[in-house]
């Protein structure tokens, strides 16, 4: 493994070197494991170090954090800790452990164990390898399940026949790694996966865990590929048996790819999009409101996430025709788009990407209308004898509409309009 480790960026080598010092000082054997090691062998950049410690992962992490002068987050209950460094590097440190699943899809009973036991509890052979961190060791690959072979041949393989029954979220993980690396789920694993899907095991898993793994799939580079494969394996029915990933949704995913790039290129300073939520909303769009609520409730999505999904699914069929017509006034465009989140706007532009007016209106909204501010303030209204209250909002909205439509431009014109409004509204 030395040849792989030598190729790592300097900063990672420094961290691993310091971890080796901690390992020697504490006499606790430590290993590089999991996705970091997998990606190291594959030659894929990965800046999330995964370290397993025989002894106490927490004590090890505290000592390493001191040497690195890094932040540390300890999860006492799981015997794990995460170190965060300034340069976006992350180090996950865990005590080696064994897991027992008392029954199907149940949370495991965890206790400390040897490295071998720690590798045995893992999902796939390609993620179940280790290499010692200690400098003196030959740093040979510890590969009890033939993970390196599977990496070379592009195979996703579970470690034992009950793997999907123990933890059905591995169904989603199998598809995710298969599609990410262009691998193949090997025949026996695939047969067991299909059996697990057929038995509805994804519905038995803890909802927050399936949700997290589903979100990870939607965060992958090519969500279309991910969801298509999951759908072909019948793995979407756990969300709703009404859900289809047909041609129109697939085309929508392709349009979303483009619109997310467009947004990132032009408006990256606004805020980072929750891109996964855009794809997920597109996937759920064909469902009725009742079915939607079942899905979002079952997954335990956050209120803000649920709100964006439901709002889009309910409003888009009205908004798209409204925004597809020529000559809509800016104030109208503003009032239609202003209540929407950026995710909904990007999805709307994707769904209406054939219509040049809709696209132009959305661009105008983001570039001009959304940032438009009035010169007048509450202070001015107060000066005109209006007491603070809901009337302020009404007046500001009317002045803003006039400004968007180009009827007022200067502060003086804004004030003149307010005076007229006050008169007519009395």
> Of the candidates 23, 29, 68, 122, which one interacts with ligand ATP according to CB under 6 A?
122
Q: Which is nearer to ligand ATP, 35 or 286 (CB)?
A: 35
Closest-CB residue for ligand ATP?
35
* Contact flags string 30-49 toward ligand ATP, x per CB under 6 A: ----xx--------------
Please, what is the minimum distance in Å from the beta carbon of residue 211 to ligand ATP?
13
Does the footprint of ligand ATP cover residue 127 (CB under 6 A)? yes
User: What number of chain residues touch ligand ATP (CB under 6 A)?
Assistant: 10
> Of the candidates 16, 115, 123, 414, which one interacts with ligand ATP according to CB under 6 A?
123
> Of the candidates 150, 167, 178, 186, which one interacts with ligand ATP according to CB under 6 A?
167
Q: Which is nearer to ligand ATP, 9 or 383 (CB)?
A: 9
Please, what is the minimum distance in Å from the beta carbon of residue 92 to ligand ATP?
7
Max Cα separation, the chain?
88
Q: Which stretch binds ligand ATP (CB under 6 A): 7-15, 119-127, 383-391, 406-414?
A: 119-127
Residue 297, Cβ density class (10 Å: 0-12 exposed, 13-18 middle, ≥19 buried): exposed
Backbone angles phi, psi at 372, to 5 degrees: -70, 130
The dihedral formed by the CA atoms of 326, 332, 336 and 341, expressed in degrees to the nearest 10:
100
CA angle 223/260/228 to nearest 5° reads: 15
Q: Which is nearer to ligand ATP, 28 or 33 (CB)?
A: 33
Q: Which is nearer to ligand ATP, 128 or 400 (CB)?
A: 128
DSSP string for residues in 105-156:
TPPPEEEE--HHHHHHTSSBGGG--EEE--TTS---EE-TT-HHHHHHHTEE
C-alpha 94/C-alpha 57 separation (Å) is: 5
Please, what is the minimum distance in Å from the beta carbon of residue 51 to ligand ATP?
11
* Contact flags string 43-82 toward ligand ATP, x per CB under 6 A: -------x--------------------------------
CA angle 189/193/195 to nearest 5° reads: 120
Please, what is the minimum distance in Å from the beta carbon of residue 271 to ligand ATP?
24
Q: Which stretch binds ligand ATP (CB under 6 A): 108-116, 122-130, 241-249, 264-272?
A: 122-130
Please, what is the minimum distance in Å from the beta carbon of residue 319 to ligand ATP?
35
For residue 91, what are the CA distances in angstroms to 42, 57, 142, 147?
Answer: 19, 12, 20, 22
Q: Which stretch binds ligand ATP (CB under 6 A): 17-25, 121-129, 299-307, 320-328?
A: 121-129
C-alpha 118/C-alpha 128 separation (Å) is: 8
* Tokens matching residue 406: 């180009």
C-alpha 342/C-alpha 79 separation (Å) is: 39
Q: Which is nearer to ligand ATP, 154 or 378 (CB)?
A: 154
Q: Which stretch binds ligand ATP (CB under 6 A): 16-24, 166-174, 246-254, 403-411?
A: 166-174
> Of the candidates 169, 189, 281, 331, which one interacts with ligand ATP according to CB under 6 A?
169
Closest CA to 419 of 368, 390, 376, 389: 376
Does the footprint of ligand ATP cover residue 231 (CB under 6 A)? no
Please, what is the minimum distance in Å from the beta carbon of residue 169 to ligand ATP?
5
Does the footprint of ligand ATP cover residue 170 (CB under 6 A)? yes
Closest CA to 220 of 159, 295, 280, 276: 276
Helices (H), 121-246: 147-153, 163-166, 169-181, 187-198, 201-204, 207-218, 223-232
DSSP 3-state of 206? coil
Strand partners, 92: 50, 82
Please, what is the minimum distance in Å from the beta carbon of residue 208 to ligand ATP?
13
Q: Which residues bind ligand ATP (CB under 6 A)?
A: 34-35, 50, 122-123, 127, 167, 169-170, 173
């Amino acid at each position: 493994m030395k040849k792989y480790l030598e190729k790592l960026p300097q900063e990672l080598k420094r961290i691993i070197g310091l971890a080796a010092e901690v390992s020697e000082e504490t006499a606790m054997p430590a290993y590089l494991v999991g996705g970091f090691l997998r990606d190291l062998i594959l030659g894929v950049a990965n800046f999330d170090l995964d370290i397993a410690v025989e002894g106490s992962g927490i004590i090890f992490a505290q000592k390493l954090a001191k040497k690195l002068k890094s932040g540390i987050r300890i999860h006492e209950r799981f015997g794990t800790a995460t170190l965060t460094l300034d340069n976006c590097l992350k180090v996950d440190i865990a005590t080696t452990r064994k897991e027992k699943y008392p029954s199907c899809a149940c949370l495991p009973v965890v206790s400390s164990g040897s490295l071998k036991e720690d590798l045995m509890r893992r999902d796939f052979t390609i993620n179940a390898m280790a290499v010692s961190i200690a400098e003196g060791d030959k740093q040979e690959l510890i590969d009890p399940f033939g993970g390196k072979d599977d990496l070379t041949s592009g195979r996703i393989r579970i470690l034992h026949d009950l793997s999907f029954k123990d933890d059905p979220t591995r169904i989603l993980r199998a598809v995710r790694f298969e599609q990410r690396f262009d691998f193949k789920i090997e025949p026996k694993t695939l047969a067991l996966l299909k059996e697990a899907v057929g038995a509805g095991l994804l519905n038995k898993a803890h909802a927050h865990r399936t949700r997290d793994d589903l979100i990870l799939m939607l965060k992958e580079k090519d969500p279309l590929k991910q969801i298509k494969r999951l759908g072909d394996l019948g793995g979407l029915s756990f969300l709703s048996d009404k859900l289809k990933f047909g041609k129109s949704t697939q085309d929508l995913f392709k349009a979303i790819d483009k619109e997310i790039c467009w947004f990132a290129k032009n408006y990256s300073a606004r805020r980072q999009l929750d891109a996964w939520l855009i794809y997920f909303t597109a996937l759920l769009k064909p469902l009725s409101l009742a079915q939607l609520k079942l899905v979002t409730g079952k997954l335990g999505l956050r209120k803000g996430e649920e709100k964006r999904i439901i709002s889009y699914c309910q409003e888009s069929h009205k908004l798209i025709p409204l925004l597809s017509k020529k000559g809509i006034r800016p104030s109208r465009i503003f009032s239609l788009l202003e209540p929407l989140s950026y995710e909904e706007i990007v999805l709307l532009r994707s769904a209406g990407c054939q219509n040049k007016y809709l696209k132009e209106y959305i661009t105008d909204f983001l570039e001009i209308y959304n940032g438009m501010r009035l010169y007048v303030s509450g202070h001015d209204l107060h000066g005109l004898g209006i007491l603070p209250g809901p009337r302020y909002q009404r007046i500001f909205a009317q002045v803003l509409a006039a400004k968007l439509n180009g009827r007022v431009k200067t502060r003086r014109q804004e004030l003149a309009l307010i005076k007229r409004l006050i008169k007519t509204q009395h």
